[in-house]
Amino acid sequence: MATSGISRNSDVVKYYCCTICETERSVEVDADFYCKKCLKYFCRTCINSHRQHGRWFYKKSPYGKDKIMKWPLSKKIENYLLACTIHKDEKLTTYCADHSQLCCSKCVELNHSKCSKVTLIPELTNTQPTDLQGLSVKLETVLGEIKSLQINQEASVQSLQRTYKEHGAVMIEQLRGNLNTNIDKCCNSSVGTSGQNLREEMCWSVLSILNEFDNITVKELNEMKDEVISIKGSVTSSIHKCTSVHNDLSQFHEIVQKIGNHKELCLIASIKCKHIIQQALTLLGKSGKVFNVQSNNKHNVRIPSDSDVCYIKGICVLTEGQVLVADYNKRFKLLNQQYQVVSHCDVTEYVSDMCQITPSEVAVALDDNASNTHNVQFITVTQSQLTLGRKLELQHECSGIACHQGELFICSDTALYKYTLYGKQLCRLYEALGYNTVNRCAVSPTGDRLYITCYWPHKLLTLARDGTLLATYSDPALDCLRGLHVTPAGQVLVCGYLPYTVRQVGWEGKSKLAMLATQEDGVWSPASVCYSSTTSSIIVGQWRNDFIWVFRVE
């Protein structure tokens, strides 16, 4: 149960202030104690004046912050609950059911004058359920989940840094090995060679190895360092969000247990509480929000130098809204926000899938059974230009790829493997019988759930972090699963090759939430799908087709 003090919001409001400091010195100082006899709050300095109660002070000592749940609801908290979050100096007066939003008079005037369901708060108190007790339980549960998420994220940062250092050490050791090997070769072939020639040959060998290290290895290490910095920054930002949401959850957990029978405060607290819980669930990747398609458009991504019809096997939306598509023609195309091709680059193997690593870098699964090559190619986007980076060589097929905080998850068509970002295989998380049973994969925003599409039999599997099977989803009307994507809020999107459908599945991986597109909408053999939070759109790539479909959603 949370017993921490109420958090400070952006206005730095002190919800519990020392009564003595506030009334006698006109300053706001955090209270550390509450006395139920004199109904006053005290800071650590002013608590000394409380000894005037004599023997009672020692027998009935004031409640400290360790017993803050016994402190009453302060006037400042009441004012906080009643204050409009947009217009800070205004009090909440109405509730707009059209937007599920509490409003003050200014809100109604500026943004809700045309809404049909704006009701005065006093009129809702008898009809709108509050269930503060149930919300308190929900808050406590979500508080624990947010705390666990924060701990896991901090562990991810440490693991990523440790892995980078280990890989750097391995590369340095390889350099030493190469130097020693070449020196030994020079020494072994020194028969009949003058000392001067031997020294020159050894020097050239050493210089050659060092130049190769400078030109290739140092560049690779710098790329990896940039990746670590970028991922660490992203995770740190997420940790800060966790801290903020955890503080807000703690605040409301405290409020709902103290609020009493004040009907209007109960209603307002209930609505605000549900809102912060929804924010927390979104951060946890458990958003239950169902997409609603508003409009759709198709865009041609073929360019004159394409040798064949496009087949968009993978889609990534970069931080600034640019879209990177992987064409089965062994080509990558960068699209601007108008979905026009602005640059492209080619690879030597067929593309199977791709995923985002950092805001400007993606990892691509390349597979060519004819040449028995299975690789992961890294591509960097800099000022609308695509640059090929390092490549990891794999010993198994590579049909799908996903990344979470520096860990790669790779499908081999029959198994799911976990790798470091630098190519070290950590474990085999899941294995199935038969070909095309582990085709594509995706990871939940928090990394605690993994999703796998089985092209045959037609299933969506949900796994725990350790590979334990949590749920199986199948539908007779969803055959030949191809595209798979998880949004930042945890919504799961899947494509059915037959029939031609794009649908949303619940984050638990157990049920269909919505049919987003069908053949009637123009979708033909969807093969890849991705969500853009920049444009609030779902982008769909198609088999043997030059077009992508863009569905605007709410």
pLDDT of res. 11: 38
Least confident of 30-34, 69-73, 342-346, 537-541: 69-73
CA distances from 398 to 311, 413, 438 (A): 18, 7, 10
Q: Is the pLDDT of residue 534 over 50?
A: yes
493-510 pLDDT, tens digit each: 999 877 899 999 999 999
For residue 3, pLDDT over 90 is answered with no
Mean pLDDT computed over 112-131: 87
Average pLDDT score over residue span 3-24: 63
At 523 the pLDDT is 93
Mean pLDDT of the chain: 86
Token duo for residue 478? 């969803």
- What's the pLDDT tens digit per position in 16-58? 899 989 999 899 899 998 888 788 888 888 887 766 655 555 5
Range list of β-strands (E), 235-336 = 293-300, 312-317, 323-327, 331-335
pLDDT, position 259: 84
Instruction: Name the residue with higher pLDDT: 418 or 73.
Output: 418
The size of the chain, in residues, is 554
How do residues 261-293 score in pLDDT, each as one tens digit?
Answer: 788 898 999 999 999 999 999 999 999 899 999
| Whether residue 10 has pLDDT greater than 90 | no
Query: Which residues, 6 or more positions from 413, have their beta carbon under 8 angstroms from its beta carbon?
Result: 397, 399, 435, 436, 437, 438, 439
- What are the strands, taking DSSP E only, across 337-438? 341-346, 350-358, 361-368, 373-382, 385-393, 400-404, 407-411, 415-420, 425-431
Is residue 476 classed exposed, middle or buried when 0-12, 13-18 and 19+ CB atoms within 10 A define those classes? exposed
Q: What is the mean pLDDT of residues 337-349?
A: 94
Please give the pLDDT value at position 194. 54
Quote the percentage of the chain above a pLDDT of 70. 87
Element (H, E) at 13: none
Confidence tier at 393 by pLDDT (50, 70, 90): very high
At 5, the pLDDT band (50, 70, 90 cuts) reads very low
Q: Which range, of 8-12, 20-24, 203-207, averages the lowest pLDDT?
A: 8-12
| 473-489 tens-digit pLDDT | 998 777 788 899 999 99
The confidence score (pLDDT) of residue 320 equals: 81
> What pLDDT, in 10s, does the model give residues 422-454?
899 999 999 998 888 999 999 999 999 999 999
Which of 284, 289, 356, 331 minimizes the C-alpha distance to 530?
356
| CB 29, CB 15: distance < 8 Å | no
The helix/strand/coil state of 518 is coil
Whether the Cβ atoms of residue 479 and residue 495 lie closer than 8 Å to each other: no
Among 173-187, 343-357, 368-382, 470-484, the least confident range? 173-187
Higher per-residue pLDDT: 371 or 451: 451
DSSP three-state, residue 222: helix
Mean per-residue pLDDT, 385-408:
94
| pLDDT at residue 215 greater than cutoff 60 | no
- What tens digit of pLDDT does each residue of 83-112 get? 998 998 999 999 999 998 999 999 999 999
Q: Identify which has the larger pLDDT, 35 or 202.
A: 35
Residue 353 has pLDDT above 60, yes or no: yes
Per-residue confidence band for 175, with pLDDT thresholds at 50, 70 and 90: low
3-state class of 47 per DSSP? helix
Q: How far apart are CA 460 and CA 452, in angstroms?
A: 6
